[in-house]
Amino acid sequence: MKVTLKIWRQKGPNEKGGFKTYQHDHVSPDMSFLEMLDVLNTNLIKKGEEPVHFDHDCREGICGMCSLYINGHPHGPLQTTTCQLHMRSFKDGETITIEPWRARAFPIIKDLVVDRTAFDRIQQAGGYISVNTGGVPDANEIPIPKKVADEAFDAATCIGCGACVAACKNASAMLFVSAKVSQFALLPQGKPERKERVQKMVAQMDAEGFGACTNTKACEAECPKGISVTNIARLNREYYSASISSYEWQVGGGGE
Amino acid sequence: MTWFTKFVSSSLGRKLLMALTGIFLVLFLAVHLAGNLQLLKNDNGHAFNVYAEFMSTNTIIQLVSKGNFAFILLHVFIALFLTIKNRQARGGERYAVTSSKSSIWASRNMGILGTLILIFLVVHLKDFWAQMHYGGVATVNYDGKEVRDLAALVGEWFDKGWYVGLYVFCMGALAFHLWHGFESAFQTLGLNHLKYNAVISFVGRAFAIVVPVLFALIPIAMYFDLKL
């Protein structure tokens, strides 16, 4: 099949970018979207041109590294990651527009590569639990109802790709943050830092410059892992109750 | 109190204020509609005038009304603030291609719908509320009691076809605003549970249709002189 690609090219973070059109005549419907770009890049390199930079890693749909805003959808027309998207999802002769994630908190590094370390900083702010060292605890020592464990696992399937931010008209990261808060808030292991966690993660989310949620639910529709907006309602509950009932924590040592 | 200022200045705190003020305004709409429906009674506006007189003189109602104005302003200002913040969050460059498949139209255009409602509200307050409180509304005598004849003033306005048209159009905007806003407020409050989601969604959508339609039917009925 043949496709026309309109790809966002940008030399660096502070350079002005723009669309460049490429004619791609050697596309197989069995190719993954990223393989199609690999072939394009091989041709560009052969011609002595700068290849298109894009993020990818496992190509198995589990790492969250690939991105790309394809024809108005993060990860393209299917609810999968871009690496799991195949060219059979497109028509022969179609024009495909490829853009980077657009959010102030995800600055462009080059072409289609954006800096998603804002997510890492949100995780570092509170997305962890405390575990004692020592002997290996028994796996089922703490009873957890199956339904609750399932819900926590559903939230934990978030791969942090940022499609929610890309899909949201407000570039809000609330689906991501809500999944990361929920996976611990639901489980007894997450209890010790429960209140502190949600307050710190929301504060970091706001500091990174992500927008606020207006419940359009576009994130849920586009999330390759099907994370539900139920988690955002839980994030809201967790945040309100934590703000009202938590002790006011202060940074710095105590005692002296 | 630092926790409180931190709370209300966070994105989630502001969303909570939007939801709470929104729900109060939903309740206000229901009360307002109940009052307005009395205009359809075939009693020369007697019931409506007595009701309007009570609403504009009762101390408790006046207090609630002050709160109502404050909540409207709060709802508008937080919306404005959040919208500016949200637009900044997208960054300088916007998407060249966007799809509207993943969300409903009303949810993406609450700001435009809200602005239409605000413009309507200003016109509405100027023509009725301000006349009742500061203007000269002619009075009628009910059993020796002088009561301002608001029904007659309303009737005058609703004899104008363009005014009825504007009213009906703005009720359309209100319907779309409620279609998303009602359900959205509950989601923001964190009230999302499989047991109740369907009920909240149904009540929200029914409210979004029934209330604006009934509001719009009153000027239409008065224009065509239809009475119950």
- Taking only the tens place, the pLDDT of each residue in A172-231 is 999 999 999 999 999 999 999 999 999 999 999 999 999 999 999 999 999 999 999 999
Tell me the ipTM for this assembly.
0.92
**Which residues does B contribute to its contact with A (CB < 8 Å)?**
2-3, 6-7, 10-16, 82, 85-91, 93-99, 101-104, 107-108, 110, 180, 183-184, 187-192
pLDDT at residue B72 greater than cutoff 90: yes
Nearest to B91 among A19, A103, A213 (CB): A103
pLDDT at residue B58 greater than cutoff 80: yes
Q: What is the arithmetic mean of pLDDT over B167-178?
A: 98
A74 within domain boundaries: yes
Query: Which of B11, B85, B112 to probe by mutation at the A interface, max A CB count within 10 Å?
Result: B11
Instruction: List chain B residues with CB under 8 Å of A105.
Output: 89
A181 within domain boundaries: yes
Q: What is the arithmetic mean of pLDDT over B14-33?
A: 97
Q: Are residues A224 and A134 in the same domain?
A: yes
Q: Are residues A99 and A125 in the same domain?
A: no
What whole-number distance in Å separates Cα of residue A238 and Cα of residue B127?
45
Query: Which of B18, B80, B99 to probe by mutation at the A interface, max A CB count within 10 Å?
Result: B99
Q: Are residues A82 and A133 in the same domain?
A: no
A18 forms beta bridges with A9
In this prediction, residue B81 carries a pLDDT of: 96
Per the structure, the complete domain to which residue A28 belongs is given by: 3-110
Q: Are residues A135 and A203 in the same domain?
A: yes
Instruction: List chain A residues with CB under 8 Å of B10.
Output: 202-203, 206, 239
Number of domains, chain A? 2
Mean pLDDT of chain B: 95
A85 within domain boundaries: yes
Q: What is the arithmetic mean of pLDDT over B31-54?
A: 94
A251 within domain boundaries: no
Instruction: Return the residue matching tokens 């808060």.
Output: A181
In this prediction, residue B100 carries a pLDDT of: 86
Contacts of B88 (CB under 8 A, 6+ apart): A104, A209, A211
Instruction: Give me the residues of chain A with pLDDT under 70, please.
Output: 248-256
pLDDT at residue B183 greater than cutoff 60: yes
A250 within domain boundaries: no
Q: Are residues A91 and A128 in the same domain?
A: no
Q: Are residues A63 and A84 in the same domain?
A: yes
Q: Are residues A130 and A217 in the same domain?
A: yes
Q: Are residues A46 and A152 in the same domain?
A: no
Reported for A26-32, long-range contacts at CB under 8 A and 24+ positions apart, including other chains, are A27/A1, A27/A2, A27/A3, A27/A87, A28/A1, A28/A87, A29/A1, A29/A86, A29/A87, A29/A88, A30/A86, A30/A87, A30/A88, A31/A86, A31/A87, A32/A59, A32/A83, A32/A84, A32/A85, A32/A86, A32/A87
Residue after which a domain boundary falls, among A92, A110, A128: A110
What whole-number distance in Å separates Cα of residue A19 and Cα of residue B96?
9
Instruction: List chain B residues with CB under 8 Å of A237.
Output: 190
Tokens of B19: 């939801």
Instruction: Return the residue matching tokens 């309507």.
Output: B120
Q: Are residues A11 and A106 in the same domain?
A: yes
Kind plus residue range of the DSSP H or E element containing B83: helix B59-90
In this prediction, residue A256 carries a pLDDT of: 45
Give the C-alpha distances (Å, rounded to integers) separating A8 from A78, A249, B93, B169. 21, 45, 11, 41
Instruction: List chain B residues with CB under 8 Å of A234.
Output: 190, 192
A253 within domain boundaries: no
CATH code for position A142: 1.10.1060.10
> Coil, strand or helix: which one is A4?
strand
Instruction: List chain B residues with CB under 8 Å of A235.
Output: 12
Q: Say if A90 is an interface residue toward chain B (CB within 8 Å).
A: no
Q: Are residues A91 and A130 in the same domain?
A: no
Q: Are residues A170 and A239 in the same domain?
A: yes
Domains of chain B: 10-87+109-223 (1.20.1300.10)
Residue after which a domain boundary falls, among A80, A110, A140: A110
Phi first, then psi, for residue B205 (nearest 5°) are -75, -35
pLDDT band of residue B117 (cuts 50, 70, 90) is: very high
What whole-number distance in Å separates Cα of residue B177 and Cα of residue B169?
13
Q: Are residues A49 and A155 in the same domain?
A: no
In this prediction, residue B2 carries a pLDDT of: 83
pLDDT at residue B153 greater than cutoff 70: yes
Residue after which a domain boundary falls, among A90, A110, A130: A110
Tokens of A86: 């195949």
* Residue in A with minimal Cα distance to B78: A212
CATH code for position A62: 3.10.20.30
A210 within domain boundaries: yes
A60 within domain boundaries: yes
pLDDT band of residue B137 (cuts 50, 70, 90) is: confident
